[in-house]
């Protein structure tokens, strides 16, 4: 009997250990992952895999590693088509290369620039405070060095896990066959299961000069020279975050908004972020869209139109960055060949529990329709899928109550429903909104603006007064909200929140001190810090 056949027939308790020895898989404490029937050691020469993954980003890589830990044979195909400006990057997908990681590092640089000024107020001697300035090349170089090291570690991890990696562009030939075009070859591989994890890329508006002269978040982190005066078109979180760090680096920034800032977020909180950014010097050009972009010597001349008045205007910028949304990368996949169902408007793949309409073809991450486009969402969905496919698990991804943060650079963290969505779902008379402005202790000495430091909790009005949404604007909002997101997963109530003793003096404790409801009409501004 072949070893794999033997393993499949072994009682579960014994077979836990056998594949562990035979496959040499070392990681993992969950022994069930070593109990997978019929998978052998992955050999390089094979063109047949238990799982082919198209897309080596957050979702694809997480699924690959988890599937491999159960002994499945796995191939990851990844390719980055250069942006219109020619930017390209290594293995790891959007988050690592042109998303969360460089963005968070630029955010950190922005916070440090602010901290230098705070430090002076706290008594540090800093010579020539007026001339504190960012060195773009140095910052960019440090960030790119970090990213390159992550790319390298990612490749090594795939190798160590015996996951075959092909640097090429993949497309469907039929329901089990993928054609991979690499720099110098075309190869056909076959998968029992196929995972689409191709993510998305920034959209450009259909106006003259946009693609030719514009840049996107794909380019900003590697821009060869300092960005200078920048127009950011769009008002989602990517637009605001880029505007936030560029403004902090003292480049003049305008944000062109067609309709609403942070449209998918709580609108009261979105307004606070907008106000804070304006206070810091970001210009907002509202109800306006660009009409054309022309090269004018060293500058870009942008013609733009106010959508209400129809008046057009022109302004010169050094760079125009489009952050008007992202397009799912399904066009190159030849998914028509396999009739995978997609949403007509967005091109995103329609899934139920990450399964497409084709029984052995799956999708995770930004490419799937109607789910949050966030790294931890893609990672978790990929991991759980692998466990269902190759382990004994039946656990499905829970897309509810996923926390997120906007780094503007004042942070806005939230989890659960916005006030608008809670009203829509439960009715205004059935919800209670608890709120407060607050003053972070660390803001007092440098006399930083506390105008937008605000938080609110939306809860059911009647017992059990379940918490429906939590929103926080202020320092370290991402860190603050993450813990409360865990509480929300446990369906915690307003009484439990009020029964929690805070940690003093922190900003997170403000959630445990919320007693004023919007309905009461009482003043939510703080009187004192310590009682």
- Please tell me whether residue 217 binds ligand FAD under the rule CB under 6 A: yes
- Please tell me whether residue 470 binds ligand FAD under the rule CB under 6 A: no
Candidates 91-99, 249-257, 289-297, 522-530 — which segment interacts with ligand FAD by CB under 6 A? 91-99
Residue number with CB closer to ligand FAD (55 or 391): 55
What does each C-alpha distance from 506 to 19, 469, 513 come to in angstroms?
49, 21, 12
Round to whole Å and give the CA distance between 519 and 429: 10
Contacts to ligand FAD from residues 417-446, by CB under 6 A:
none
**SS3 at position 238:** helix
Tell me which of 19, 23, 56, 273 binds ligand FAD, using CB under 6 A: 56
Round to whole Å and give the CA distance between 164 and 270: 44
Residue 436 phi/psi, 5-degree rounding, is -165, 145
- Please tell me whether residue 59 binds ligand FAD under the rule CB under 6 A: yes
Question: Whole-number minimum distance, CB 31 to ligand FAD, in Å?
Answer: 28
Contacts to ligand FAD from residues 230-259, by CB under 6 A:
238
Round to whole Å and give the CA distance between 375 and 433: 30
Residue number with CB closer to ligand FAD (232 or 457): 232
Q: Identify which of 72, 65, 71, 70 has the alpha carbon closest to the alpha carbon of residue 32.
A: 70
Site string for ligand FAD, 139-158 (x = CB under 6 A): --------------------
Round to whole Å and give the CA distance between 98 and 198: 15
Terminal alpha carbon distance of the chain? 74
Residue number with CB closer to ligand FAD (280 or 326): 326
Q: Identify which of 155, 151, 147, 134 has the alpha carbon closest to the alpha carbon of residue 102.
A: 147
* Residues 249 and 111: beta-carbon distance below 8 Å: no
To the query of whether residue 504 is one of the catalytic residues in this protein, the response is yes
Count of residues that bind ligand FAD according to CB under 6 A: 36
* Residues 226 and 141: beta-carbon distance below 8 Å: no
Tell me which of 60, 71, 391, 409 binds ligand FAD, using CB under 6 A: 60
Question: Whole-number minimum distance, CB 278 to ligand FAD, in Å?
Answer: 22
Candidates 51-59, 135-143, 148-156, 354-362 — which segment interacts with ligand FAD by CB under 6 A? 51-59
- Please tell me whether residue 170 binds ligand FAD under the rule CB under 6 A: yes
- Please tell me whether residue 90 binds ligand FAD under the rule CB under 6 A: no
Our CA dihedral for 384, 196, 4, 189, rounded to 10 degrees, sits at: -170
Strands 326-328 and 164-166: unpaired
- Please tell me whether residue 199 binds ligand FAD under the rule CB under 6 A: yes
Q: Identify which of 396, 395, 378, 387 has the alpha carbon closest to the alpha carbon of residue 69.
A: 387
Round to whole Å and give the CA distance between 370 and 342: 11
Site string for ligand FAD, 1-40 (x = CB under 6 A): ----------------------------------------
Candidates 97-105, 253-261, 351-359, 428-436 — which segment interacts with ligand FAD by CB under 6 A? 97-105
- Please tell me whether residue 415 binds ligand FAD under the rule CB under 6 A: no
Question: Whole-number minimum distance, CB 221 to ligand FAD, in Å?
Answer: 8
Residue number with CB closer to ligand FAD (384 or 431): 384
Question: Whole-number minimum distance, CB 26 to ligand FAD, in Å?
Answer: 25
Candidates 9-17, 48-56, 115-123, 275-283 — which segment interacts with ligand FAD by CB under 6 A? 48-56
Residue number with CB closer to ligand FAD (61 or 433): 61
**SS3 at position 368:** strand
Residue 119 phi/psi, 5-degree rounding, is -60, -40
For residue 126, what are the contacts with CB-CB under 8 A and spacing of at least 6? 116, 119, 120, 132
Name the maximum alpha-carbon separation found in the chain.
Answer: 80
Distance of CA 292 to the CA centre of its chain: 30
Residue number with CB closer to ligand FAD (274 or 373): 373
Strands 230-233 and 319-322: parallel
Tell me which of 106, 329, 361, 494 binds ligand FAD, using CB under 6 A: 329
Tell me which of 79, 322, 437, 511 binds ligand FAD, using CB under 6 A: 79
* Residues 155 and 78: beta-carbon distance below 8 Å: no
By CB neighbour count within 10 A (0-12 exposed, 13-18 middle, 19+ buried), where does 194 fall? buried
Please report where in the chains the tokens 């800032």 appear, as a residue.
Answer: 261
Candidates 54-62, 428-436, 455-463, 513-521 — which segment interacts with ligand FAD by CB under 6 A? 54-62
Round to whole Å and give the CA distance between 264 and 39: 44
Question: Whole-number minimum distance, CB 24 to ligand FAD, in Å?
Answer: 28
Active-site entry in 146, 213, 360, 504: 504
Candidates 56-64, 259-267, 278-286, 393-401 — which segment interacts with ligand FAD by CB under 6 A? 56-64
Question: Whole-number minimum distance, CB 233 to ligand FAD, in Å?
Answer: 14
Tell me which of 163, 324, 361, 378 binds ligand FAD, using CB under 6 A: 378
* Residues 42 and 27: beta-carbon distance below 8 Å: no
Tokens for 351, please give them.
């899934």
Round to whole Å and give the CA distance between 365 and 309: 40
Question: Whole-number minimum distance, CB 332 to ligand FAD, in Å?
Answer: 5
Tell me which of 7, 52, 53, 54 binds ligand FAD, using CB under 6 A: 54
Q: Which helix (H) or strand (E) holds 166?
A: strand 164-166
Question: Whole-number minimum distance, CB 56 to ligand FAD, in Å?
Answer: 6
Tell me which of 23, 42, 58, 401 binds ligand FAD, using CB under 6 A: 58
φ/ψ bin of 175: left (φ > 0), alpha (ψ from -120 to 50), beta (otherwise): alpha
Residues with a known catalytic role: 504
Contact residues for ligand FAD, defined by CB under 6 A:
54-60, 77-80, 93-95, 98-100, 103, 169-170, 197-199, 217, 238, 329, 332-333, 365-367, 373-376, 378
């Amino acid at each position: 009997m072949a070893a794999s056949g033997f393993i499949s027939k072994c009682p579960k308790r014994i077979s836990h250990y056998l594949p562990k020895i035979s496959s040499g898989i070392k990681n993992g404490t969950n022994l069930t992952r070593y109990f997978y029937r019929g998978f052998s050691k992955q050999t390089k020469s094979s063109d047949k895999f238990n799982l082919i993954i198209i897309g080596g980003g957050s979702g694809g890589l997480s699924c690959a590693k988890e599937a491999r830990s159960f002994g499945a044979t796995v191939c990851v195909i990844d390719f980055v088509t250069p942006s219109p400006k020619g930017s390209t990057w290594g293995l790891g997908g959007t988050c690592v290369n042109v998303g969360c990681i460089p963005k968070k590092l630029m955010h950190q640089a922005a916070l440090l620039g602010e901290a230098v000024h705070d430090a002076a107020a706290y008594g540090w001697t800093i010579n020539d405070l007026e001339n504190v300035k960012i060195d773009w090349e140095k910052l960019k170089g440090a960030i790119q060095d970090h990213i390159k090291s992550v790319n390298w570690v990612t490749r090594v991890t795939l190798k160590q896990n015996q996951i075959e990696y092909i640097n090429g562009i993949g497309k469907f030939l039929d329901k089990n066959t993928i054609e991979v075009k690499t720099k110098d070859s075309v190869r056909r591989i076959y998968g029992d299961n196929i995972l689409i994890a191709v993510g998305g890329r920034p959209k450009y508006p259909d106006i003259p000069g946009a693609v030719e002269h514009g840049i996107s978040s794909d380019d900003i982190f590697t821009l060869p020279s300092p960005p200078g005066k920048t127009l950011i078109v769009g008002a989602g979180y990517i637009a605001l975050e880029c505007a936030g760090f560029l403004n902090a680096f003292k480049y003049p920034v305008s944000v062109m908004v067609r309709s609403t800032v942070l449209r998918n977020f709580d609108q009261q909180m979105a307004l606070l972020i907008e106000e804070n950014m304006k206070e810091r010097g970001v210009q907002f050009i509202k109800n306006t869209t660009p009409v054309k972009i022309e090269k004018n010597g060293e500058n870009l001349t942008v013609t733009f139109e106010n959508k209400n008045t129809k008046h057009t205007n022109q302004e010169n910028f050094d760079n125009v960055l489009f952050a008007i949304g992202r397009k799912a990368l399904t066009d190159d996949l030849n998914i028509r060949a396999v009739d995978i169902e997609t949403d007509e408007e967005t091109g995103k793949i329609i899934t139920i529990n990450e399964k497409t309409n084709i029984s052995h073809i799956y999708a995770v991450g930004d490419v799937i329709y109607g789910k949050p486009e966030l790294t931890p969402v893609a990672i978790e969905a990929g991991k759980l899928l692998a466990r269902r496919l190759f382990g004994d698990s039946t656990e499905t991804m829970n897309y509810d109550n996923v926390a997120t943060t906007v780094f503007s650079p004042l942070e806005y963290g939230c989890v659960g429903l916005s006030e608008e969505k809670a009203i829509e779902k439960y009715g205004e008379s059935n919800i209670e909104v608890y709120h407060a402005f607050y003053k972070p202790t660390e803001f007092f000495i440098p006399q930083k603006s506390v105008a937008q430091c605000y938080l609110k909790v939306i809860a059911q009005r009647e017992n059990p007064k379940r918490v429906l949404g939590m929103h926080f604007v202020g320092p370290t909002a991402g860190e603050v909200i993450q813990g409360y997101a865990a509480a929300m997963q446990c369906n915690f109530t307003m009484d439990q929140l009020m029964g929690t003793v805070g940690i003093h003096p922190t900003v997170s404790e403000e959630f445990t001190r919320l007693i004023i409801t919007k309905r009461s009409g009482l003043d939510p501004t703080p009187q004192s810090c310590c009682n």
